[in-house]
Chain A
């Protein structure tokens, strides 16, 4: 249904490769020399420091960069001048370049896979390792999966995993070292995922982290000031978060607002079943107040492309008159001039209907009626 949405992870944050590598470096995980930049002028300076040849890698918070041409080698200045603007200008899965990483190249003998993630069904951290890395995790063969509790991975466990994927000598020693460090990093930052793919064996048998993926848990941010610099949010997302809302932008023309994630999803489903195209998913949280609904309308007014607003609030103990006040205020203040189709379940709904009688907000008794009216309205 949806092709393009703004990035909004809600409760997690995915770091860019160079950011993940900053953390890897801090914890002593072996990397190639590399520098990041955000424009070509800066890039030229960085290129001189690093020295040719090197690769340039687009920094986007999604996978599939290689296939999309986002990783290119540069043997000299001419190639750099040609390729840098091309890579910088790419859009991958709807994401623009946040930065470019310039990184030296290695003589790779083999690519391994290594990750540590918070396993929700097992309720502990789990290591996945394989001697056949370099492809997406779904395609990684011969995975060794090991549950490791909630603490650091002990050296003997790391050694067992290393043996299980068939490593020996210097490579095995390096693997144990990297896994122990990666686990220390993951535990200390309370990450949901730390992935090195590929983890490359180079000519002398040592291991180097060629790529890095690191996903943190936003809910633990209050313990991690040091991760704040990696936060990236659009204005609308930031405002939504400040109000305690959850927002996902979609590509239709009917904004969907409600209280409670399940209820808004349900409304989105019914709207789609009726041929409507949602412009966004906006959950104002369990309660609903004049302020929260007013703020929701303000956010929607800034989205463009929205032609109708569908509101589904299950109040229970919320007075619907309180919500009606928000609509009236939003029209009065000129925040919105769009028609609103709403279903407000709660107390004083007759009074709320009377309040809105002459406004562009219509109140319906059932959500089905509100949806039908919104879809019909959008087609007119």
Chain B
């Protein structure tokens, strides 16, 4: 599989090590332009934008805009794209990016039809590309690169890998970790959709062998079985680094979608109990509140010393 760190950071011998070029699909929209500016401010190397019909113009007088992803990729060599197009244009825009050679596609839009996601993921597999999302806040290496919509304040560079289905809960828990002195080596928003380009288990595979990582925090929620599958993978892989989980939705009623399309409990399938018991089986404590996450993590750190 394509190495996500290599894509985001590069290798020390690369000319653009630590400042990998990123393009923005939908750069001229209200949402796209707001977050493009925020990413630039964070230090992300935004090199081009794509908006059909606006090729030749410049975003904020600096960043060239192209009509197609292919032109943007040819001109810049970017392999990362952050996508801010409306959900109904997701299918076309995502296919275009993958066909143009984008290897890391961060899909921000919510309300993408499930079938469109499936089609894009089939193509991504053929192209050996990583799709994060749809409905993701994005991915970041704190204090180095941010590809997404996360506010910068909760995050700090460090040694904890943080994976989350939810956006605002990711910020909340990053904030709690940072306040307790646990910076993050990488944070990945999985997205709240029922079908994720990068599932929890894929994200785990991306981060599990990072030598500098000291611990892992997984923020899940009710619905589906990706937490259970992840817990099983952690057991099977013999992963021994301190790991803590948090599951939102214990008090949610069954058979109701709780905001996220994927957050629904059917019978015991998708229930918090099922996830908590699998994590416990994997010897992973599950916090009751976001503020408890760093406390449990610190506990695991002491034990593993």
Using CB atoms and an 8 Å cutoff, list the residues of chain A in contact with chain B: 1-2, 5, 8-12, 118, 120-121, 123-124, 138, 150, 190, 192, 217-220, 222-223, 246, 248, 250, 258-266, 268-273, 278, 281, 283, 286, 314-317, 345, 366, 368
16 of the cross-chain contacts (CB-CB < 8 Å) are A1-B251, A120-B114, A123-B121, A123-B195, A220-B115, A248-B252, A248-B256, A262-B260, A264-B258, A266-B289, A273-B288, A281-B258, A283-B259, A286-B167, A316-B154, A366-B291
A118 to B122: give the CA distance in the assembly, Å: 15
What residues of B have a CB within 8 angstroms of the CB of A120 in the complex?
114, 194-195, 224
A274 to B69: give the CA distance in the assembly, Å: 51
The yes or no answer to B257 lying at the interface (CB within 8 A) is yes
A259 to B225: give the CA distance in the assembly, Å: 24
A222 to B152: give the CA distance in the assembly, Å: 34
A368 to B256: give the CA distance in the assembly, Å: 25
Residue on A nearest B153 in the bound complex, by CB: A316
The yes or no answer to B267 lying at the interface (CB within 8 A) is yes
What residues of A have a CB within 8 angstroms of the CB of B88 in the complex?
222-223
B251 pairs with A278, CB closer than 8 A? yes
Q: Which of B10-18, B58-66, B75-83, B169-177 contacts A (4 or more CB under 8 A)?
A: B169-177
**Of the residues B122, B224, B253, contact of A250 by C-beta under 8 Å:** B253
What residues of A have a CB within 8 angstroms of the CB of B260 in the complex?
261-262
A121 to B150: give the CA distance in the assembly, Å: 27
A291 to B251: give the CA distance in the assembly, Å: 29
A267 to B8: give the CA distance in the assembly, Å: 33
Residue on B nearest A190 in the bound complex, by CB: B115
Residues from 141 to 156 in B contacting A, C-beta threshold 8 Å: 149-154
Q: Kindly name the residue among A190, A222, A286, A368 whose own CB sees the greatest number of chain B CB atoms within 10 A.
A: A286
Residues from 45 to 93 in B contacting A, C-beta threshold 8 Å: 87-88
Beyond the given pairs A259-B168, A260-B168, 9 more chain A to chain B contacts, judged by CB atoms under 8 angstroms and listed by A's residue number, are A9-B257, A10-B264, A11-B261, A150-B119, A263-B166, A265-B166, A265-B252, A269-B251, A315-B151
B258 vs chain A, min Cβ distance (A)? 5
The yes or no answer to B290 lying at the interface (CB within 8 A) is yes
What residues of B have a CB within 8 angstroms of the CB of A190 in the complex?
113-115
A5 pairs with B168, CB closer than 8 A? no
Q: What class of interface size applies to chain B in its complex with A? A: 35 or more
B164 vs chain A, min Cβ distance (A)? 7
What residues of A have a CB within 8 angstroms of the CB of B121 in the complex?
123
A264 to B249: give the CA distance in the assembly, Å: 9
A118 pairs with B151, CB closer than 8 A? no
B221 pairs with A317, CB closer than 8 A? no
A225 to B38: give the CA distance in the assembly, Å: 37
B143 vs chain A, min Cβ distance (A)? 16
B221 vs chain A, min Cβ distance (A)? 5
A266 pairs with B172, CB closer than 8 A? yes
A36 to B30: give the CA distance in the assembly, Å: 47
Instruction: Give 6 nearest A-B pairs by CB, closest first.
Output: A262-B166, A316-B151, A261-B259, A260-B168, A10-B257, A262-B169
What residues of A have a CB within 8 angstroms of the CB of B224 in the complex?
120-121
Residue on A nearest B155 in the bound complex, by CB: A316
B256 pairs with A8, CB closer than 8 A? yes
B168 pairs with A150, CB closer than 8 A? no
B253 pairs with A1, CB closer than 8 A? yes
What residues of A have a CB within 8 angstroms of the CB of B169 in the complex?
260, 262-263, 266
Residue on A nearest B199 in the bound complex, by CB: A121
B259 pairs with A281, CB closer than 8 A? yes
A265 to B192: give the CA distance in the assembly, Å: 12
**Of the residues A11, A118, A258, contact of B257 by C-beta under 8 Å:** A11
B122 pairs with A123, CB closer than 8 A? yes
A258-B168, A262-B221, A314-B171 in contact; A5/B111 too (CB < 8 A)?
A: no
A262 pairs with B219, CB closer than 8 A? yes
A261 pairs with B192, CB closer than 8 A? yes
A233 vs chain B, min Cβ distance (A)? 14
A351 to B192: give the CA distance in the assembly, Å: 33
A120 to B261: give the CA distance in the assembly, Å: 12
The yes or no answer to B295 lying at the interface (CB within 8 A) is no
The yes or no answer to B20 lying at the interface (CB within 8 A) is no
What residues of B have a CB within 8 angstroms of the CB of A278 in the complex?
251
The yes or no answer to B112 lying at the interface (CB within 8 A) is yes
A265 pairs with B171, CB closer than 8 A? no
Q: Kindly name the residue among A120, A218, A272, A281 whose own CB sees the greatest number of chain B CB atoms within 10 A.
A: A120
B122 pairs with A219, CB closer than 8 A? no
